Amino acid sequence: MKALVKEGPGEGLDLRDVSEPEIGPDDVLIKVHKTGICGTDIHIWNWDAWAARTVPTPLVTGHEFAGEIVALGRDVTDLHVGQRVSGEGHLIGKTSRQSRSGRFHLDPETRGIGVNEPGSFAEYLRLPAFNAVPLPDTIDDEIGAILDPLGNAVHTALSFDLIGEDVLITGAGPIGIMAAAVARHVGARHVVITDVNPLRLDLAAQVADVTPVNVATEDLKDVMSRLHMVQGFDVGLEMSGSQAALDQMVESLVMGGRIALLGIPPGKSPVDWSRIVLKALTIKGVYGREIFETWYKMIAMLENGLDVRKVITHRFKAADYRQGFEAMLSGQSGKVVLDWT
Ligand code: ZN
């Protein structure tokens, strides 16, 4: 089968023939229809310090996918051949305290498809049946292929009660934009999203009813007073990993405000802790998706009017994957989806 493989140290990925994955008794074999390119895949493409330390080579990359089950392991009874699925790419262990108490997303032994294990940039994917998530007919393959990052957005946005709250989202990448759409969907009052990239701010305004703010040219304080925010934002969702964005978020929150952090700063960064203590802020780190609560809520919201399709700005055949990665590397894209059919 064809797959996008990281052959060894260095930049890029190669599309080449590899053998089809073999499945065990508890696995399913999925014929991949569509895949999303993630920021993680860009780290692997670029072969930065994180990738060099984390990713074994050669490896089939990719972890955002939708497809169809074509074979079942002999012990799989609750799924069927022909079923359309997406799936959780975090493969969890069963021995840690967190796993055994049902908090699967906190299992420290988690291994990721396309990062530690063979991934979904391929015609076929082996996945534990436990990780497969059946797709209703109302969710097509293209949306199915971006449920992983939408799940990050949903997990982050639902970290705190947003009903009637003023929400600040820093970072208008695809996940920030989708988090804005989720915040709006669940009933936030004002949703403001900041970035310094005009294209991404335009895209945010197309996807959701939000106020985009270019912090390179606009003063966030002016926007807040225009929206009649007396004290500040109630909730902050940090999606950029930028030190300046986090500083501005801390500055713009109300006393007792709450922050969910999904963005990953590059290395250590200075944080004004006294400001955080004296403002009595709550900070929560967010990792992955809650397995499978986030999936349940996300699919329910999609079936109930949440629309994030416009966040997909580029679509390519898998054979043209280089154009997809170029679009991602340009910084001038939303989600990029590859077609494997
Ligand atoms: Zn991803």
Return residue ranges of the chain for CATH 3.90.180.10. 2-146+308-339
What's the 196 CA to ligand 1 centre distance in angstroms? Answer: 22
Burial 325-337 (b: 16+ CB within 10 A, else e): bebbeeeebbbbb
Q: Tell me the three state secondary structure of residue 241.
A: coil
Residue 240: in which H helix or E strand, if any?
A: none
**Composition of the chain by helix, strand, coil, percent to 5:** 30, 25, 40
Q: Is 77 a catalytic residue?
A: no
* Per-residue confidence band for 107, with pLDDT thresholds at 50, 70 and 90: very high
pLDDT value at residue 280? 98
Residues 179 and 189: their CA atoms lie apart, in Å, by 14
Cα–Cα distance, 296 to 300 (Å, whole number): 6
For the four alpha carbons of 274, 275, 278 and 282, in that order, the dihedral sign comes to negative
**Beta-bridge partners for 300:** none
Between the CA of 89 and the centroid of ligand 1 the distance, in Å, is: 9
Distance 60 CA to ligand 1 centre (A): 15
pLDDT for residue 135 is more than 90: yes
Average of pLDDT values for 207-221? 97
- How many whole angstroms from 288 Cα to the centroid of ligand 1? 9
Determine the Cα–Cα distance for residues 111 and 18; give it in Å rounded to an integer.
21
Unique residue bearing structure tokens 């970290």: 159
Distance, CA of 30 to CA of 39 (rounded, Å): 23
The whole-model pTM stands at 0.96
Residue 128: alpha-carbon gap to chain centroid: 20
| Residues 263, 243: Cα–Cα separation, whole Å | 10
CA of 73 to the centre of ligand 1 (A): 26
Quickly state the pLDDT bin for 266 (edges 50, 70, 90): confident
| pLDDT (mean) for 97-103 | 96
Q: What is the mean pLDDT of the chain?
A: 97
Tell me the CA–centroid distance for residue 283 and ligand 1, in Å. Answer: 23
Cα of 170 vs centre of ligand 1, distance in Å, is 19
Evaluate whether 72 touches 81 at the Cβ level (below 8 Å): yes
Distance of alpha carbon 140 from alpha carbon 136, whole angstroms: 8
Which class is domain 153-285? alpha beta
- From the CB of residue 280, how many other CB atoms can be counted at a distance below 10 Å? 10
**Start-end of CATH 3.40.50.720 domains in the chain:** 153-285
Spatial separation of the C-alpha atoms in residues 90 and 289, rounded to whole Å = 9
Q: How high is the pLDDT of residue 267? A: 84
Predicted pLDDT at 105: 95
What CA dihedral angle connects 14, 340, 116 and 37, to 10 degrees?
80
**Amino acid present at 12:** G
Active-site hit among 40, 156, 170, 194: 40
Going from the C-alpha of 220 to that of each of 125, 211, 273, the distances in angstroms are 45, 11, 22
Q: How confident is the model at residue 15 (pLDDT cuts 50, 70, 90)?
A: very high
First to last CA, the chain: 12
Mean pLDDT in residue range 38-58: 96
Q: For residue 103, report the distance from its CA to the centre of ligand 1, in Å.
A: 20
Domain 2-146+308-339 carries which CATH code? Answer: 3.90.180.10
40 is catalytic: yes
